[in-house]
């Protein structure tokens, strides 16, 4: 693995499958009475969150603590854009505190990339979501969930599997990272949404696209619903929330057209009644709660492989 | 400044022609010929150098008044002199905005005091660049600064009626409206060229159509009211086509391209290093190609730098938080050589036209942009096209360091610049 995890594109197929395998081993830890390993004892992981995201922060915190790392949570509310301390000065502060890894969530696309490549810090940088760019650990936990359900937890298990990612692809870092990682793992990805929410140039992403959710659903092995953020509802991307739900929401009627084995995913937090109805979210097909559990295992694997060292480690 | 009043430039190639001598005396070109001698003149050995008319920039941000931490009239004109410029047009987006006779006269006076090159202030089209009400264009035209170029650069005069009125109004004093063509609604929050790459990088796109739609509209307005339009920093292939078509119809439209748009592409945004963040954004290789072709065939009349200094902290941050703009004065001629001359698209006479004659003509500047002839004002740049230099940000004469070319090897170096017969740069150094 590279020294940083900034984009799902940083992972080769070997890297990604190593993460999944490591996560599988670490996940079994959750069933033991003592959930802690000494792997990262004495190492410091900083959670640097410029945006509120309690779920992701807690997930990383639990992951680091189960590996016995020291964890510092740094909630830098507001970025340099809104006159807070600059990203650089925050980074220098963390460096002075001796961080071994910085897990960063930031509203600006590319902020983790800047942190890793500007010479401000020496630590490993893990992207925990940057702007409308990427969220690679979310993609890894989604892949892990798919791998458990559809891939028999073996290498190559996602080869040829079909995944639909539905909704606001334009603004979704989850969609970008998932499209990249699932392709790396051999899966076939279809991005579905209204034309206004699919980015210009998406033809070059080497994925299928569709405006027609009903046509896609019967063909896929998994369907991943993206959250529609409130500000998009005002942004003129679609006429009304109701029209969006009618055309791109997953409800009981649409769920009935899925194949028997097809699972339903959502990165959370859900807007129930908008992109997904309650009966779908709470159905047997839904693996949404399991995604959260898997998130801790996958983030443990990432921190372990970045900091604890893997056989294929090659520092830049 | 030196007290020598005459300079004998030996064996220089005017516009790359045969070697000859040039005597500069009392602010003008006194003699041209081989084997000249002159008592008391300082001799400049110009063997291998090219003489060009002093360059004229129609688009410079000098930042004073208001942002003296980024640039001052003095430091900006020093950078201009180092780039071979003898005249620059200072954009109006200062603090306060150059939208009154008082501010443009202040900038004009600061330029005279600095003495490194002539400063022609650009007046704002609208009060405070707000796009709501015309500024007192006539007062600026009649002021000591004699403003002829009006621009809200940094902002587009997007209201079509206001743009029409501005174009009509400046006819009274032979002015020109230099439009920053950017539809504001189509570029809300825009960070880089809209392309497959912007989608992948998650950076909000700045689509070519947002520039092209405004240029098309303004060409039509200009034709309708019989005025003069200048299009700032044309950046797309489609814009070049629209300007070409307007010229074919005989409309009074001129256009500029910036050095960075002739060389750099949007791929650089993948570094997320905001040194490459500029407005309009870096575009595709196809756009670069079209701009070069347009500059070669005269569709694009001039090269203008859009020299935009910013303090370090405004670039040493995440992309979205960073300021738009890059330095340009000291590297413009080298980039034109690299992209246009060394590629065979333009000869040195063409360079003189695109960087001196034409910008002076558009800006209605009388004392610059004239061919090097006996009796002409001695505004001259001596340039070594055979030199190669590695660009170092820290070596810039500008107060700012935001050059996107740091570490690049570029051809050519200004060896001397003369402003009315006095050197502002000699032996490659500021005088």
Q: Does A315 score more than 50 pLDDT?
A: no
pLDDT (tens digit per residue) in B395-424 = 999 999 999 999 999 999 999 999 999 999
Q: Does A311 score more than 70 pLDDT?
A: no
pLDDT (tens digit per residue) in B289-325 = 999 999 999 999 999 999 999 999 999 999 999 999 9
pLDDT at B4 (0 to 100): 66
CA–CA separation, B386 and B229 (whole Å): 37
B121 burial via Cβ count (<10 Å: 0-12, 13-18, 19+): buried
**A74 three-class SS:** strand
Share of chain B above pLDDT 70, in %: 99
Q: Is residue B232 part of a domain?
A: yes
* H helix intervals, A151-220: 173-184, 213-216
CA–CA separation, B78 and A89 (whole Å): 32
Q: Is A80 on the interface with B (CB under 8 A)?
A: yes
pLDDT at A77 (0 to 100): 66
Q: Is residue B1 part of a domain?
A: no
pLDDT (tens digit per residue) in A271-303 = 999 999 999 999 999 999 999 999 999 999 999
Domain boundary among B338, B362, B386: B362
Give the CB-side neighbour count of residue A229, counting CA atoms within 13 A.
Answer: 11
A6 burial via Cβ count (<10 Å: 0-12, 13-18, 19+): buried
pLDDT at A14 (0 to 100): 97
Query: Average pLDDT in the B68-80 region?
Result: 97
Residues B178 and B39 in one domain: no
Q: Within 10 Å of residue B183's Cβ, how many Cβ atoms? A: 17
pLDDT at B419 (0 to 100): 98
pLDDT at A35 (0 to 100): 82
pLDDT (tens digit per residue) in A16-60 = 999 999 999 999 887 788 888 999 999 999 999 998 888 999 999
Chain A: closest CA distance from residue B255 (Å): 28
User: Which of A75-84, B287-296, B351-360 has the weakest average pLDDT?
Assistant: A75-84
Q: Render the burial of B231-249: b for 16+ CB within 10 Å, e for the rest.
A: bbbbbbbbbbbbbbebbee
The total of structural domains in chain B comes to 2
pLDDT (tens digit per residue) in B5-20 = 899 999 999 999 999 9
Residues B416 and B303 in one domain: no
Q: Does A231 score more than 90 pLDDT?
A: no
pLDDT at A275 (0 to 100): 96
pLDDT (tens digit per residue) in A134-188 = 999 999 999 999 999 999 999 999 999 999 999 999 999 999 999 999 999 999 9
Q: Is B324 on the interface with A (CB under 8 A)?
A: no
Q: Which residues in chain A have Cβ-Cβ distances shorter than 8 Å to B203?
A: 109-110, 131-133
* pTM for the whole structure: 0.94
Domain boundary among B304, B329, B362: B362
From the list B283, B293, B291, the residue with the least C-alpha distance to B239 is B291
From the list A87, A27, A23, the residue with the least C-alpha distance to A51 is A87
Query: Per the CB < 8 Å rule, is A200 touching B321?
Result: no
Q: Which residues in chain B have Cβ-Cβ distances shorter than 8 Å to A79?
A: 318, 321
Domain A8-134+292-308 bears CATH identifier 3.40.50.1370: yes
Under the banding of pLDDT at 50, 70 and 90, the label for residue A223 is: very high
Contacts of B39 (CB under 8 A, 6+ apart): none
**Where in chain A are all domains bearing CATH 3.40.50.1370?**
8-134+292-308, 136-291
Residues B34 and B145 in one domain: no
Residues B298 and B385 in one domain: no
Q: Is residue B368 part of a domain?
A: no
Q: Which residues in chain A have Cβ-Cβ distances shorter than 8 Å to B204?
A: 132
Q: Is residue B370 part of a domain?
A: no
pLDDT at A316 (0 to 100): 36
- Measured between CB atoms, which of A113, A173, A202 is closest to B272? A113
Q: Does A309 score more than 70 pLDDT?
A: no
Q: What integer best gives the mean pLDDT of chain A?
A: 92
pLDDT (tens digit per residue) in A90-106 = 888 888 888 999 999 99
pLDDT at A310 (0 to 100): 42
Under the banding of pLDDT at 50, 70 and 90, the label for residue B283 is: very high
Residues B355 and B418 in one domain: no
Q: Is A79 on the interface with B (CB under 8 A)?
A: yes
Question: What is the ipTM, given to two decimal places?
Answer: 0.91
From the list B95, B90, B100, B108, the residue with the least C-alpha distance to B68 is B95
pLDDT at A74 (0 to 100): 86
A136-291 topology per CATH: Rossmann fold (3.40.50)
**A8 three-class SS:** helix
Under the banding of pLDDT at 50, 70 and 90, the label for residue A312 is: very low
CA–CA separation, B211 and B214 (whole Å): 6
pLDDT at B3 (0 to 100): 57
Residues B332 and B389 in one domain: no
pLDDT at B406 (0 to 100): 97
pLDDT (tens digit per residue) in B184-195 = 999 999 999 999
- Nearest-5° angle of CA B311, CA B317, CA B319? 110
Contacts of B261 (CB under 8 A, 6+ apart): B233, B234, B235, B280, B282, B283, B287, B288, B291
Q: Does A314 score more than 50 pLDDT?
A: no
Residues B19 and B64 in one domain: no
pLDDT (tens digit per residue) in B101-147 = 999 999 999 999 998 999 999 999 999 999 999 999 999 999 999 99
- Nearest-5° angle of CA B54, CA B243, CA B86? 10
Query: Per the CB < 8 Å rule, is B316 touching A131?
Result: no
pLDDT at A75 (0 to 100): 83
Is residue A201 a contact partner of residue A212, using CB atoms and an 8 Å limit? no
Q: Is residue B147 part of a domain?
A: yes
CA–CA separation, A1 and A306 (whole Å): 7
pLDDT at A81 (0 to 100): 42
Query: Average pLDDT in the B260-264 region?
Result: 98
Residues B21 and B131 in one domain: no
Annotated catalytic residue, options B57, B152, B287, B306: B306
Q: Is residue B371 part of a domain?
A: no
Under the banding of pLDDT at 50, 70 and 90, the label for residue A221 is: very high
Q: Does A78 score more than 60 pLDDT?
A: no
Contacts of A107 (CB under 8 A, 6+ apart): A50, A51, A79, A81, A130, A131, B320
From the list B213, B148, B187, the residue with the least C-alpha distance to B363 is B148
Beta-carbon contacts below 8 Å between A and B: 89
pLDDT at B223 (0 to 100): 98
Q: Which residues in chain A have Cβ-Cβ distances shorter than 8 Å to B205?
A: 199-200
- Measured between CB atoms, which of B195, B197, B202 is closest to A132? B202
CA–CA separation, B123 and B120 (whole Å): 10
Q: Does A83 score more than 70 pLDDT?
A: no
The CATH number that applies at residue B349 is 3.20.20.140
E-only strand ranges, chain A: 44-49, 70-75, 101-106, 124-130, 162-166, 188-192, 208-210, 222-225, 263-265
Instruction: Tell me the three-class secondary structure of chain B, residue by residue.
Output: CCCCCEEEEEEEEECCCCEEEEEEECCEEEEEECCCCCCCCEEEECCCCEEEECEEEEEECCCCCCCCCCCCHHHHHHHHHHCCEEEEEECCCCCCCCCCHHHHHHHHHHHHHHCCCEEEECECCEHHHCCCCECCHHHHHHCCCCCCEECCCCCCCCCHHHHHHHHHHHHHHCCEEEECCCCCHHHCCCCEECCHHHHHHCCCEECHHHHHHHHHHHHHHHHHHCCCEEECCCCCHHHHHHHHHHHHCCCCEEEEECHHHHHCCHHHHHHCCHHHCCCCCCCCHHHHHHHHHHHHHCCCCEECCCECCCCHHHCCCCHHHCCCCECCCCCHHHHHHHHHHCCCCCCHHHHHHHHHHHHHHHCCCCCCCCCCCCCCECCEEEEEEEEEEECCHHHCCCCCCCCCCCCCEEEEEEEEEEECCEEEEECCEEC
Residues B231 and B88 in one domain: yes
Query: Average pLDDT in the A223-242 region?
Result: 89
Query: Per the CB < 8 Å rule, is A110 touching B318?
Result: yes
Domain boundary among B332, B362, B392: B362
Range of the domain at B169: 54-362
Q: Is residue B369 part of a domain?
A: no
The CATH number that applies at residue B402 is 2.30.40.10
């Amino acid at each position: 693995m590279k020294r940083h995890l900034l984009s799902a594109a940083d992972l080769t197929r070997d890297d990604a499958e190593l993460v999944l395998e490591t996560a599988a081993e670490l996940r079994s830890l959750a069933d033991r009475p003592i959930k802690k390993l000494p792997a990262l004892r004495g190492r410091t992981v900083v959670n640097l969150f410029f945006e509120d995201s309690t779920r992701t922060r807690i997930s990383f915190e639990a992951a680091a603590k189960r590996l016995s790392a020291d964890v510092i949570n740094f909630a830098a509310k507001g970025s340099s854009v809104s006159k807070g301390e600059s990203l650089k000065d925050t980074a220098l502060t963390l460096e002075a505190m001796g961080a071994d890894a910085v897990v960063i969530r930031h509203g600006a696309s590319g902020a983790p990339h800047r942190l890793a490549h500007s010479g401000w810090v020496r630590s490993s940088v893990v992207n925990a979501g940057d702007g409308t760019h990427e969220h690679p650990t979310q993609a890894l936990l989604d892949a892990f969930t798919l791998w458990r359900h559809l891939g028999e937890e073996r290498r190559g298990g996602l080869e040829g599997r079909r995944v639909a990612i539905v909704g606001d692809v334009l603004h979704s870092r989850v969609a970008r990272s998932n499209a990249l990682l699932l392709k790396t793992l051999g899966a076939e990805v279809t991005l579905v949404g209204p034309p206004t929410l699919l980015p210009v140039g998406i033809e070059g992403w080497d994925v299928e696209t569709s405006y027609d959710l009903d046509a896609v659903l019967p063909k896929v092995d998994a369907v991943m619903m993206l959250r529609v953020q409130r500000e998009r509802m005002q942004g003129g991307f679609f006429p009304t929330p109701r029209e969006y739900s009618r055309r791109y929401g997953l409800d009981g009627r649409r769920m009935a057209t899925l194949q028997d084995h097809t699972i339903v995913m959502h990165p959370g937090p859900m807007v129930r009644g908008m992109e997904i109805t309650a009966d779908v979210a709470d159905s047997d097909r839904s693996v949404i709660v399991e995604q959260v559990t898997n998130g801790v295992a996958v983030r443990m694997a990432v921190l372990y492989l970045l900091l604890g060292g893997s056989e294929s480690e090659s520092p830049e | 400044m030196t007290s020598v009043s005459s300079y004998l430039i030996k064996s220089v190639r005017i516009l790359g022609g045969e070697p000859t001598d040039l005597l500069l005396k009392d602010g003008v070109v006194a003699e041209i010929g081989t084997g000249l001698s002159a008592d008391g003149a300082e001799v400049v050995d110009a063997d291998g150098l090219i003489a060009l008319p002093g360059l004229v920039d129609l688009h410079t941000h000098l930042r004073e008044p208001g942002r003296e931490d980024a640039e001052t009239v003095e430091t900006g004109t020093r950078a201009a002199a180092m780039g071979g410029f003898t005249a620059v047009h200072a954009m109006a987006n200062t603090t306060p905005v150059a939208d009154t006779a008082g501010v443009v006269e202040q900038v004009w006076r600061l330029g005279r005091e600095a003495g490194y090159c002539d400063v022609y202030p650009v007046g704002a089209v609208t009060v405070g660049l707000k796009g709501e009400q015309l500024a007192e264009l006539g007062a600026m035209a009649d002021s000591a600064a004699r403003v002829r170029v009006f621009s809200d650069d940094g902002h587009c005069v997007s209201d079509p009626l206001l743009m029409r009125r501005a174009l009509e109004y400046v006819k009274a004093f032979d002015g020109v409206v230099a439009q920053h063509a950017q539809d504001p609604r189509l570029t809300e929050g825009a960070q880089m060229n809209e392309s497959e790459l912007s989608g992948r990088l998650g950076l909000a796109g700045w689509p070519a159509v947002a520039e092209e739609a405004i240029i098309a509209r303004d060409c039509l307005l200009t034709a309708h009211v019989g005025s003069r339009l200048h299009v700032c920093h044309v950046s797309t292939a489609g814009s070049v086509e629209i300007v070409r078509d307007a010229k074919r119809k005989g409309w009074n439209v001129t256009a500029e391209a910036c050095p960075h748009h002739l060389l750099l592409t949007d791929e650089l945004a993948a570094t997320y290093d905001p040194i490459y963040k500029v407005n309009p954004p870096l575009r595709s290789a196809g756009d670069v190609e079209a701009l070069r072709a347009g500059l070669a065939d005269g569709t694009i009349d001039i090269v203008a730098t859009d020299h935009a200094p910013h303090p370090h902290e405004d670039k040493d941050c995440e992309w979205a938080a960073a300021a738009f703009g890059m330095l340009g004065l000291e590297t413009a001629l080298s980039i034109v050589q690299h992209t246009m001359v060394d590629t065979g698209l333009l000869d040195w006479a063409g360079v003189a036209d695109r960087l001196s004659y034409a910008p002076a003509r558009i800006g209605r500047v009388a004392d610059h942009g004239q061919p090097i002839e006996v009796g002409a004002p001695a505004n001259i740049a001596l340039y070594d096209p055979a030199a190669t230099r590695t660009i170092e940000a820290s070596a810039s004469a500008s107060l700012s360091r935001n050059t996107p070319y740091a570490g690049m090897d570029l051809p050519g170096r200004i060896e001397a610049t003369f402003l009315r017969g006095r050197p502002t740069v000699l032996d490659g150094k500021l005088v």
